[in-house]
Amino acid sequence: MKPYINNYEDVFALLDDQASGVFWDGFYQERKRPVPFLTQNTMPDENLAALLKRESSIQTAVELGCGEGRNAVYMAKQGISTTAYDLSSEAIKNAEAFMAHEGVKVNFICQDVIKTPVSGQYDLVYDSGMLHHLAPHRRLTYLELLKKLLKPRGYFGLLCFAWGENCADEIDDWAYYRQKFNAGLAFQKERLYELFSPHFNVLEIRKYQNDIPGTIQGLDFMWACLFQAKN
């Protein structure tokens, strides 16, 4: 840590030091928790499948926090040129193995997209579970990244923890820094509107639907959201 605060980057570095999170390499290596995205790691999200079924204009996509590649590989199977990032080298290794097994091409990259700049513009930016693991101050970085990556009228799809489902920490942003949390942060629907409506058109915020054939099950404790760039 630097001893002084001279700019905004120093403020963010200070707040990063106050935040805690999951050690994702260990998470993917140990596989101790029977969470759906580990036990059903070849199945896409139902909201992503629904979007791609009805929206044929999506030709390029980037996934943020892609995990073991189930959504990215699905997009590639639909003929979409896909890039996918994750900060876990273990997850990327598994994603590349899955990609090879499925016989498609995804540009998998091991990189922390919040702290290391990324480039490109895409018809779709998709996030299935990264936002709710970010410290509150890093949502500012996240929003700027989304606006940078989305083409005009491009889509932003999001899956995140829902407040009231007992699936994650239900605390406000101030409380986050008073003690350590690492289970993820839940969002109220109103908070999602507050965060994203100034920047994007809100097309949908609903609960995830189970029982959709060919998609991952057991995520009904999450919000499925769709936004669109305003220009």
**Do the domain assignments include residue 39?**
yes
Q: What is the mean pLDDT of residues 46-74?
A: 97
Q: What is the mean pLDDT of residues 28-40?
A: 90
**Do the domain assignments include residue 184?**
yes
**Do the domain assignments include residue 98?**
yes
Residue 163, φ and ψ in degrees, nearest 5: -60, 140
**pLDDT tens string 191-227:** 999 999 999 999 999 999 999 999 999 999 999 999 9
**Higher pLDDT, residue 13 or 217:** 217
DSSP assignment letter at 87:
S
pLDDT at 231 over 90: no
The Cα 147–Cα 136 span in angstroms is 18
* Per-residue confidence (pLDDT) for residue 17, from 0 to 100: 84
The encoded tokens of residue 1 equal 């840590």
**Do the domain assignments include residue 3?**
no
Distant-in-sequence, close-in-space partners of 37: CB < 8 Å, separation ≥ 6? 67, 68, 70, 128, 129, 216
**Do the domain assignments include residue 199?**
yes
Q: What range does the domain containing 29 cover? A: 8-229
* Per-residue confidence (pLDDT) for residue 18, from 0 to 100: 81
**Do the domain assignments include residue 21?**
yes
Strand boundaries in 20-121, DSSP class E: 60-64, 81-86, 107-110
* Per-residue confidence (pLDDT) for residue 182, from 0 to 100: 65
The Cα 205–Cα 226 span in angstroms is 7
**Do the domain assignments include residue 166?**
yes
CATH of the domain at 98: 3.40.50.150
pLDDT at 1 over 60: no
* Per-residue confidence (pLDDT) for residue 14, from 0 to 100: 86
**pLDDT tens string 91-137:** 999 999 999 999 999 999 999 999 998 999 999 999 999 999 999 99
**Do the domain assignments include residue 1?**
no
Structural domain total, the chain: 1
